[in-house]
Amino acid sequence: MKRQIAKYKEKLAADGSADPLRIAFLAKDDILIAEGPADLLPLGEEILARLNVVCAVLAEPSLPFIDFLVRRATGEEPCLVPRDTETRTFLHDIPLLRRADRGDSEKIAALLRRRKGIIVEGLGIVATGAFTPEQAFIHYCSVFHAAFVKYLLDVLQDGFLLPGEEAAFADLRQSWLQPIAIGDLTFASGPLEDRTAILAEIARVGRYTVGKRLVDSAFGNISWRDGQTILISQTGAHLDELAGCIDPVPNDNSSTAGVTASSELAAHRRIFEATGARAILHGHPKLAVVMSMLCEHQAGCNIADCWRQCPRVRFVGGTPTVAGEIGAGGLAEKVAPVIGETGRALVFGHGVFTLGRNGFGEAFAALVEVENWCREEFCRRLQRETSGTAR
């Protein structure tokens, strides 16, 4: 357990979702294992003692938007109801606790009894894992991702409303919104035929995807078409730890390997059938998610559930953008018909699929190009919308 805690603390620091010096991780084993700042551990112990869970993480995000979200919220018991797919699937909504109650372990525990992660003003994100540190890590990442996306959408819609927001956004822009460079990466030239080499390349590209912050570790998926077999990351697999977590799934379903394969297996299979590509990469880069949710057709539109019901094919910077429910449903039907021409497709509130005709280099470059365009376009729109607003 101690090694797992150290591992996930390191991941939170490496992906930029938490300040390395402000991460408290606690777990019940034969004894209580607790690592982190001395001022956070007593509160963490009190919270854990009040809950029927094994693990808890309390951490201060590396960016200040968490507090701004709480201060922007209204109501006595506010919560965020983001529209991104990860939140709708895993968290539903995110309760918020104001600064006055940041040290109240009973109030924090009460919210965590009905949700896996919450935001506490002046403290950060608190998340739990029913059985493992990995679960607490995943729930923390989900809250961070959802809050990041929600804050950027709110700022673009409403401008800077609070003192210090504009200066804080300038810091965010320098730390998160600079163009991603990939000149330091190498990719195997394809097409690859040796199974061992294919597995090694999938694992390497998975590490690249996490390392460049194009996906949170336990989300996203990756696959390679090897003849009549799809080699695909397992459901819940961390893309930076894919060794032993890649399933060979025959197209004729003659094996049960698909049982543990990514929930997006159906989408990958349809994309391969429609395009003849060899590689598929699916990530959740944050600005691409944000830009996918900006729709010029919202005025007068009577669709209530954009992420599942929208029939349109929109274009975000030349990338076709569709709606579709994750898993063995809408994405398989919506992405495959539109991805072939450009080699890339955006899904409302969810992320990006890209293709490699002969190798992963093309797919990775396309994923980066989509995210870089979205970062640049977001900053351009924000500058336009906030010109002359109060600071």
pLDDT tens for residues 304-361?
A: 777 677 778 999 999 999 987 776 557 888 999 999 999 999 999 889 999 999 999 9
In terms of pLDDT, which residue wins out, 368 or 254?
Answer: 368
- Calculate the alpha carbon distances from 365 to 187, 206, 218, 307, 371 in Å: 11, 13, 21, 26, 10
Over pLDDT 90: what percentage of the chain?
71
| 257 confidence band (pLDDT: 50, 70, 90) | low
Write the Ramachandran bin of 253: left for phi over 0, alpha for psi from -120 to 50, otherwise beta.
Answer: left
What mean pLDDT, rounded, does the chain reach? Answer: 90
**Does residue 321 sit within a domain?**
yes
**Predicted local confidence at residue 21, as pLDDT:** 96
**Predicted local confidence at residue 133, as pLDDT:** 95
Per-residue pLDDT at 231 exceeds 90: yes
Q: Encode 223-238: b = buried (16+ Cβ within 10 Å), e = exposed.
A: bbbbeebbbbbbbebb
Structural contact between residues 354 and 367, judged by C-beta atoms closer than 8 angstroms? yes
Last residue of a domain, one of 135, 156, 177: 156
**Does residue 149 sit within a domain?**
yes
Q: Measuring CA to CA, which residue among 263, 262, 220, 268 is closest to residue 240?
A: 220
Range in 14-23, 118-127, 254-263 the model is least confident about: 254-263
Domain ranges, residue 149: 2-156
Give the total number of structural domains in the chain. Answer: 2
Where are the alpha helices (H) located in 97-234, listed in sequence order? 105-112, 133-158, 165-176, 195-211
Range in 35-49, 79-93, 126-140, 252-266 the model is least confident about: 79-93
Per-residue pLDDT at 85 exceeds 70: no
**Does residue 250 sit within a domain?**
yes
Task: Give the C-alpha separation, 236 to 259, whole Å.
Answer: 12
Are 267 and 119 within one domain?
Answer: no
Q: What is the mean pLDDT of residues 231-246?
A: 95
Are 203 and 344 within one domain?
Answer: yes
**Does residue 265 sit within a domain?**
yes
Where are the alpha helices (H) located in 326-391, listed in sequence order? 330-334, 336-342, 360-386
Structural contact between residues 127 and 116, judged by C-beta atoms closer than 8 angstroms? yes
Structure pTM?
A: 0.92
pLDDT tens-digit profile of 163-193?
999 999 988 888 889 999 999 999 998 788 8
Task: Give the C-alpha separation, 202 to 217, whole Å.
Answer: 14
Are 146 and 211 within one domain?
Answer: no
Per-residue pLDDT at 219 exceeds 90: no
**Does residue 179 sit within a domain?**
no
Per-residue pLDDT at 23 exceeds 90: yes
Task: Give the CATH number of the domain where residue 276 resides.
Answer: 3.40.225.10
Residue 390 structure tokens: 């109060």
